[in-house]
Chains A and B, each alone.
Chain A
Amino acid sequence: MIPDAMLRKLRDYLRDYLSLPVRVTRNMPVPEGSYERSRNQYHSTRILREILTETPADAIKIVGIIDKDLCIPILTFVFGEAQLGGVASIVSTARLRQEFHGLSPDDGILFERLVKEVLHELGHSFGLIHCSDRECIMYLSNTVRDVDRKKTTYCGSCDTALYRKSETWRE
């Protein structure tokens, strides 16, 4: 479970950063059949499909936040997944936690990483691809080290691209 306080904090952050209305919807159970027994992980694409069915009529994008470790069939793990230029995306907090790496919990660090990954997947939802700027949100992170190196902002060109693609909804 993700604490409500953290979700609200995330909501406010996204609203301020993107200048778009953001709200938290109801908790969703982890879909049955997304669990991969042999890998003790959850298949993110299957969950993504479920999230899509939960999209409210007035929402242009929906992001699922999950505390389970995610994977796709070809990769040992993913921090998250998005439909490129689509509606739904998902981010897992499992590997963003300090505990996962044998360190003591730190909510501040977790929140910062979560913000980065959510903005990253939302970027994909708005049609952005990976950026070669190591400090840009849209840089591909394969490790938390990569995540930590990134800033909590998009680089100039990704920011412009995102702004253009989200313009129609920002009135």
Chain B
Amino acid sequence: MEPKVNILIVDDEEVVRESLASWLAEDGYEVGVAENGARALARLPEKDWNLAMVDLKMPGMDGIELMDEIRKVKPEMIVIIMTAYATVDTAVQAMKKGAYDYIVKPFNPEDLSMTIRKIIEHQKLVKENLYLRKELKKQYRLHDMVSKNHKMIEIFELVKTVAKSNSIVLVQGESGTGKELLSRAIHMESPRRDEPFVTVSCAALTETLLESELFGHEKGAFTGADQARSGKIELAKDGTLFLDEIGDISLKLQMDLLRVIEQREFRRVGGTQLIPITSRIIAATNRDLTKAIEEEKFREDLYYRLNVISVRIPPLRDRKEDIPLLVEHFLGRFNIEMGKNVDGLAESAMRLLMDYGWPGNARELRNVIERAMVVAKGRMILDADLNLPQASGSPGVKDRRGKSLSEVEKEHIRQVLAANRWNIVRSAQVLGIDRVTLYNKIRKYELKKEPVLNT
């Protein structure tokens, strides 16, 4: 059932109070009356009033004064000013002071019904909007990241705690999951937020370049070093140093970095002076570091140095519930950046996004939405605007909808057999079943080797 709508009528004339109250009661509203401003203010705490209908001319406190007082106590309450004497001046004054509407007695019943219904509708929307905003802020947001996945929310909570410390953080996750965004969030949540956030992309540079990029160099340290330069560690000062793709650095540099982290001081390339490190270090990688250690591509001691606080961001395919939320987030941002007015996605387009595997994670989703917004013609993004890559790893994904399990199985076996040129042993391996089972299924589904052309 809809909640009751409470209306407070304030008028010094009894006949007005009574007739308005009974007319509104017939419409199902809960009505209270007050004969003057003081009485009205005294009745305010009684209920959650939606609306006050206030007479402009009353002895003592007039309608405008009363409206001011109401707004101090209950700013969300809507006030309509009623008057028997319509002048443009008073109407303008009332509206300027924040009256929702201004009506002249006697009212046309149709106008009055319409005005009140409009107010109720408006209030419902305002309440809903406030609620939604609060929900969005409360649970799903950490700076530029949004999620309603419980693992992500746990990470957001962890970030807020971790941010206050100076410990090294290791952020792991597939590419595009938002490792840098999360690291920036840690920085922004930390007391270092007004200091620099310096990113070093370790994979992009050769060993020597990376070394000088990190530590800086003195004049003449190597060919072309015609003047001294500070490295990124120095630039980060009291801020945060973000070492992206840490899994890609050479073993020699890993050793240098380990020493620097342990001693919290370093030398520029070709320099002698020891420079202390005051920044906080966050490292990120999309590689499986434990595997890299097994393969002796990553130093175990550096791993333990970095892995003080570890955050692993789940891939988008494991948190598909975030897709609509992220879409909304990106739409909002690109609408502003591109000056566009795209409201949302067609239902079928959203379904395509939900069905897709997102190997490139949230970044890929962002790019898909950005492109779609460029090409979208109307206020809606349609299927054709999306341009999703065909899922090559899982052929026929889209066709599966509405098919029975055995139909899908039959089709899958047919495709695997075709891909392996009917080599039963290999096909059985791919399918993860033994040969006999595969033969049985071929018979059951009456699969036949099709003549292969152009081989």
Contact = CB atoms under 8 A, between A and B. Distances in A.
A73 interface: yes
A155 interface: no
Interface string A44-61: 010000000000000000
A124 B23 CA distance: 11
B26 A75 contact: no
A78 B105 CA distance: 14
Nearest to A46: B15
B110 interface: yes
A73 B109 contact: no
Contacts of B15: 45, 73
A74 B106 contact: yes
Contacts of A111: none
Given A142-B109, A142-B110, A72 B25 contact: no
A3 B16 CA distance: 34
Contacts of B16: 73-74
B26 to A, nearest CB: 6
B108 interface: yes
Interface residues of B, number: 21
Indicate the member of B15, B25, B26, B28 with the most A CB atoms within 10 Å: B26
A74 B25 contact: no
B22 A140 contact: no
A75 B103 CA distance: 11
A71 interface: yes
Contacts of A77: 109
B22 A143 contact: no
B23 A74 contact: yes
A72 B22 CA distance: 11
A75 B109 contact: yes
A43 to B, nearest CB: 9
A142 B105 CA distance: 16
Interface in B1-25: 13, 15-16, 18-20, 22-23, 25
Contacts of A119: none
B108 A76 contact: yes
Given A75-B109, A76-B109, A129 B28 contact: yes
B22 A84 contact: yes
Interface of B is mostly: helix
B19 A74 contact: yes
Given A142-B109, A143-B110, A72 B19 contact: yes
B27 A75 contact: no
B19 A45 contact: yes
A140 B113 contact: yes
Size band of the A side of the interface? 20 to 34
Contact of A74 (B27, B105, B110): B105
Interface in B102-135: 105-110, 112-113
Contacts of A45: 15, 18-19
Given A130-B28, A142-B110, A142-B113, A75 B13 contact: no
Contacts of B25: 84, 129
A73 B26 contact: no
Nearest to A41: B106
B32 to A, nearest CB: 16
B5 to A, nearest CB: 12
B106 A71 contact: yes
Interface in B53-87: 82
Contacts of A83: 22
Nearest to A85: B25
Nearest to B13: A73
Given A74-B19, A74-B105, A124 B26 contact: yes
Nearest to A138: B26
A38 to B, nearest CB: 11
Contacts of A140: 26-27, 113
A10 interface: no
A73 B108 contact: no
A69 B343 CA distance: 50
Contact of B26 (A39, A74, A82, A142): A82
A2 B166 CA distance: 92
Nearest to A128: B26
A143 B114 CA distance: 13
Nearest to A124: B26
A143 B28 CA distance: 19
A73 B28 CA distance: 20
Contact of A73 (B27, B105, B112, B113): B105
B22 A73 contact: no
Indicate the member of A75, A83, A84 with the most B CB atoms within 10 Å: A75
A75 B24 CA distance: 12
16 contacts: A45-B18, A72-B106, A73-B15, A73-B16, A74-B16, A74-B105, A75-B106, A75-B107, A75-B108, A75-B112, A78-B109, A81-B22, A82-B26, A83-B22, A84-B22, A140-B113
Q: 7 closest Cβ contacts across the A-B interface?
A: A142-B110, A129-B28, A72-B19, A142-B109, A130-B27, A76-B106, A74-B20
Given A45-B19, A74-B23, 10 more contacts: A73-B15, A73-B19, A73-B105, A74-B20, A75-B19, A75-B107, A75-B108, A76-B107, A81-B22, A84-B25
